[in-house]
Copies of this chain bind each other. A is one copy, B any other.
Amino acid sequence: MSERETMSTQSINPRTGQAFGPIFAETNAAEIASLIEKAQVGFELWSTATVAQRVEALQGIADALDANIADLVEIADLETGLGVPRLTGEVGRTTFQIREFARAISEGRFISPEVDPFVDAPLPVGHPEFIRTLAPLGVVVVFGANNFPFAFSVLGGDTASALAAGCAVIAKAHPSHPQTSTKVFSLAKSVLETLGFPGVLSLIHGVDAGVTVLQSPVVSAGAFTGSKKGGRALFDIAQSRPTPIPFYGELGSVNPVVALSSGISDPKAFATAYLDSLLLGNGQFCTNPSILFVPENSPVLNEIESQISERKPSPFLSLATKTLHDENRARLSHLLSSPVIAGQELSDGGFYSSPAVLVTDLAKVTAKPETLEVECFGPTGLVVTYSNIAQLILAIANLEGALSASIFAAASDGDVVTVCSALSRKVGRLSWNAWPTGVAVTIGQQHGGPYPASTSLLHTSVGLHAITRFLRPVALQNFPAEVASKLI
């Protein structure tokens, strides 16, 4: 999620709606020019540093975050309302992924040159020796996300993977957690400067500042996690530059979950697990189970409707997030002529809406395909009943790209392969009898999918493969070993 900020930003406690703490001015043109120059120098230092130096710095940053976890979580909770347990876990995930990238490069993973030896033969078989090296792209701009103040923000996966690759990073703070961003940045900056790497990481505030940096000829790539509208605007800027650059945008995702009747053995438990996933973090996850397809007349329906009434609201990240969610929910309800089946309400000064589901059937969403592209980013789920697998497959084929899909079924179910094949065309990750929320940070992860889930469906923003986004091959042809060794 991203929203248009004004020329200055102040933290707002989403539980009360009250502003607090320092006012952050938008980074101005002179400051941007200065930090871009420093980032260029920082890139020279960092890209020519040894792998051991980069590993030491990354581990130092992770250690600094862990050492300050209580302070970090306290301010992040005030700014985001996500709660101490979740935020504590998120810091752990963030430092884990920084250390995992450090470990990967220390093992030479992804960055080791590939030697293709000289072949003494006639063309086209014969060729000189090639050493295929991987070079960092340069200075990268990272747009922090609203919903993960640590794991997808200033020192989140995009920054960690770019730094591991040898790139310098200019991070744009998300306006809904400027104090958390500043604190995380200060800790990392201090580690980097102490180790002799000034300029490797910078922080900016403001949408216009982000756009200015993205347009700089010095900048070689961009990474973004947020809304379809904001992300597409930035993607368009990156692609229409005189020199277009890679832009790794995650632009929102309407994630399908399909339950076959063979996959629902305990309707009550199934409904509970669904609502737990739907309402986790107030539904503000890009992997939220946005649309649940269930067989018509499934007892799950009654369970969901009855259980939702017990669920309590949690705060939204910001007023803008709440407003957008409420508008999308009303729009969906209107388009489908489906009532909002709401849970409990909370009326005070904070940013709350009741959790809710909308129930409809396949014919209705098929008649209005745009309803399958409305992302209610927040605590609202769409439940679609189906009576016919062939029609379900057709509906899946017409879905937009998404990050994640799930199927609930028995392995022996005859429809499993067809449904899975259809789903796999649409997503980067397909889960078996598992809800989509909770994205493991591991080598096999794929967090990215067909547009709009990602603007770069060949890549992932979570897991070690994320580093490949910031490396480009450079082949050294026919080099004497003594020279090649000084270039790698």
Return the contact of A474 from the options B114, B128, B132, B427 (Cβ within 8 A). Answer: B427
A476 at the interface (CB under 8 A from B): yes
Decide: B130 and A445 in contact? CB cutoff 8 A. yes
Decide: B445 and A457 in contact? CB cutoff 8 A. no
Return the contact of A131 from the options B119, B444, B468 (Cβ within 8 A). Answer: B444
A394 at the interface (CB under 8 A from B): no
Q: Which residue of B lies closest to A135 (CB)?
A: B424
Decide: A483 and B244 in contact? CB cutoff 8 A. no
Known contacts A124-B441, A244-B235, A411-B480; is-contact A474 B430 (Cβ 8 Å): yes
Decide: A240 and B236 in contact? CB cutoff 8 A. yes
Binds B, one of A8-16, A88-96, A332-340: A88-96
Q: Chain B residues near A129 (CB, 8 Å)?
A: 444
Decide: B424 and A455 in contact? CB cutoff 8 A. no
Q: Which residue of B lies closest to A420 (CB)?
A: B487
Return the contact of A451 from the options B243, B457, B469 (Cβ within 8 A). Answer: B243
Q: For window 42-89 of chain A, which residues contact chain B by CB distance below 8 Å? A: 89
Q: Chain B residues near A469 (CB, 8 Å)?
A: 458
How many residues on the A side are at the interface (Cβ–Cβ under 8 A)? 78
As a 0/1 sequence over residues 466 to 488 of chain A, the CB contacts with chain B under 8 angstroms (1 = contact) are 00110111111111101100110
Decide: A244 and B444 in contact? CB cutoff 8 A. no
A123 at the interface (CB under 8 A from B): yes
Q: Which of the listed residues A119, A130, A482 has the most CB atoms from chain B within 10 Å of its own CB? A: A130
As a 0/1 sequence over residues 103 to 131 of chain A, the CB contacts with chain B under 8 angstroms (1 = contact) are 00000000000111001000111111111
Known contacts A417-B487, A421-B487, A444-B475; is-contact A123 B93 (Cβ 8 Å): yes
Q: How far does the Cβ of A409 sit from chain B's closest Cβ, in whole Å?
A: 8
Decide: A458 and B429 in contact? CB cutoff 8 A. no
Known contacts A445-B475, A451-B244; is-contact A432 B130 (Cβ 8 Å): no
A389 at the interface (CB under 8 A from B): no
As a 0/1 sequence over residues 435 to 477 of chain A, the CB contacts with chain B under 8 angstroms (1 = contact) are 0000011111110101110011110100001001101111111
Q: How far does the Cβ of A375 sit from chain B's closest Cβ, in whole Å?
A: 16
A178 at the interface (CB under 8 A from B): no
Q: Within the assembled complex, what's the spacing in Å between the Cα atoms of A445 and B411?
A: 44
Known contacts A416-B483, A455-B244; is-contact A434 B477 (Cβ 8 Å): yes
Return the contact of A444 from the options B130, B457, B486 (Cβ within 8 A). Answer: B130
Decide: A440 and B127 in contact? CB cutoff 8 A. yes
Q: For window 209-240 of chain A, which residues contact chain B by CB distance below 8 Å? A: 235-236, 239-240
A431 at the interface (CB under 8 A from B): yes
Decide: A460 and B440 in contact? CB cutoff 8 A. no
Known contacts A125-B96, A239-B239, A487-B421; is-contact A444 B114 (Cβ 8 Å): yes
A343 at the interface (CB under 8 A from B): no
Q: Within the assembled complex, what's the spacing in Å between the Cα atoms of A127 and B447?
A: 15
Q: Within the assembled complex, what's the spacing in Å between the Cα atoms of A418 and B443?
A: 36
A428 at the interface (CB under 8 A from B): yes
Return the contact of A473 from the options B244, B465, B476, B482 (Cβ within 8 A). Answer: B465
Q: Within the assembled complex, what's the spacing in Å between the Cα atoms of A431 and B478?
A: 6
Q: How far does the Cβ of A417 sit from chain B's closest Cβ, in whole Å?
A: 5
A433 at the interface (CB under 8 A from B): yes
Q: Which residue of B lies closest to A89 (CB)?
A: B123
Q: How far does the Cβ of A399 sit from chain B's closest Cβ, in whole Å?
A: 12
Q: Which residue of B lies closest to A474 (CB)?
A: B424
Q: Within the assembled complex, what's the spacing in Å between the Cα atoms of A476 and B427?
A: 10
A246 at the interface (CB under 8 A from B): yes
Q: Which residue of B lies closest to A434 (CB)?
A: B478
Known contacts A246-B458, A472-B457, A486-B417; is-contact A440 B480 (Cβ 8 Å): no
As a 0/1 sequence over residues 190 to 211 of chain A, the CB contacts with chain B under 8 angstroms (1 = contact) are 0000000000000000000000
Return the contact of A476 from the options B130, B432, B471, B474 (Cβ within 8 A). Answer: B432
Q: How far does the Cβ of A469 sit from chain B's closest Cβ, in whole Å?
A: 8
Closest 8 CB pairs of A and B: A116-B444, A130-B444, A127-B440, A446-B475, A431-B477, A239-B239, A96-B124, A93-B124
Query: Beyond A424-B476, A458-B472: 20 further Cβ-contacts under 8 Å?
Result: A92-B123, A124-B441, A126-B440, A130-B440, A130-B446, A132-B446, A135-B425, A235-B239, A236-B240, A239-B239, A239-B244, A244-B455, A246-B458, A411-B483, A420-B483, A431-B478, A432-B483, A445-B475, A448-B473, A460-B473
Can you name 21 A-B residue pairings with CB atoms under 8 Å? A96-B124, A96-B125, A115-B444, A119-B442, A124-B441, A127-B440, A127-B441, A128-B434, A130-B444, A131-B444, A132-B465, A135-B425, A243-B450, A411-B480, A428-B475, A429-B476, A429-B477, A430-B476, A431-B478, A433-B478, A445-B475
